[in-house]
Amino acid sequence: MRHTISILVENKFGVLARVAGLFSARGYNIASLAVSETLDSSVSYMTIVVEAKDEKVLEQITKQLNKLIDVITVTDFTKKEHIDRELVLAKINYTSKDKLKLEAIFSKFVGKIVQHKADTAIVEAVGDEQQIKVLLEELNKFGIKELVRTGKLAIE
């Protein structure tokens, strides 16, 4: 099962390596990871999506993260009410005649064209895991040439 964990850490060099090392040393794969500064620039916020076989594995991950000296708090969002979002940028096949089709899609999702050159458009979209999944299926009908994603962000 996939779990979303967020951790508040000291904004210092090496912290990301400590967190990443904790996962890699145990053979756990990180599905996505987003890191950035917070309002307080001495603190960074990491949102990590991880695959954990069972509760015991997740409990160990959380405890081990808490044990790192630079980690301030650890929150497992899996059982908590929370809002999560992801931003995607996709380069798709697109010409002016596709305009209505694309607008129809974006009427259902939060997104827009941010650049259009010749037969290619770059679109941006924001949504939760399910919305992004459906959106990508829709965009795939145009043909996705390139795709980048931020990874999940979550907040209580």
Partner 1 sequence: MVGARILLESLKKSGVEVIFGYPGGQVLPIFDQLYDFDVKFILTRHEQGAAHAADGYARATGKVGVCLATSGPGATNLVTGIATAYMDSIPMVAITGQVGTHLIGNDAFQEADVTGITRPVTKHNFLVKDVKDLARTIAEAFYIASSGRPGPVLIDIPVDVQRADTEFIWPQDIKIRSYQPVYSGHPGQIKKAAKLISTSKKPIIYAGGGIITSGADLELKKLAEKIQAPVTTTFMGLGGFCGTHKLFLGMLGMHGTAYANHAVMESDLIIAIGARFDDRVTGRLDAFAPGAKVIHIDIDPSSISKNVRVDIPIVGDAKNVIDELIGQIDQLPDTAEWLKTVESWKKKYPLIYKDDSAMIKPQYILEQLWDLTKGDAIICTEVGQSQMWACQWYKYLTPRTFISSGGLGTMGFGFPAAMGAKLGCPEKEVFNIAGDGSIQMNIQELGTCVANKINVKVLIFNNGFLGMVRQWQELFYKKRYSFTPITSPDYVLLAQSYGAVGIKVTKKSEVIPALKKAIETNNTVFIDFRIEPEENVYPMVPAGKAINEMIEGLA
* Interacting residues with partner 1 (CB under 8 A): 9-10, 13-14, 17-18, 21, 25, 56, 59-60, 63-64, 66-67, 69-72
Least CB distance to partner 1 at residue 25 (A): 6
Report residue 107: phi and psi, to 5°: -70, -20
Report residue 119: phi and psi, to 5°: -105, 20
Cβ proximity to partner 1, 19 vs 87, nearer residue: 19
Least CB distance to partner 1 at residue 54 (A): 12
Least CB distance to partner 1 at residue 9 (A): 8
Cβ proximity to partner 1, 9 vs 139, nearer residue: 9
Cβ proximity to partner 1, 21 vs 143, nearer residue: 21
CA 125, chain centre distance (Å):
12
Least CB distance to partner 1 at residue 71 (A): 6
CB 137 within 8 A of CB 144: no
CA 110, chain centre distance (Å):
16
d(CA 135, CA 66): 36
Cβ proximity to partner 1, 73 vs 140, nearer residue: 73
Least CB distance to partner 1 at residue 77 (A): 20
Closest CA to 76 of 154, 22, 146: 154
Cβ proximity to partner 1, 69 vs 148, nearer residue: 69
- Asked whether the CA dihedral 129, 131, 134, 138 is positive or negative, the reply is negative
User: Looking at the DSSP assignment, which residues form a beta bridge with residue 84?
Assistant: 154
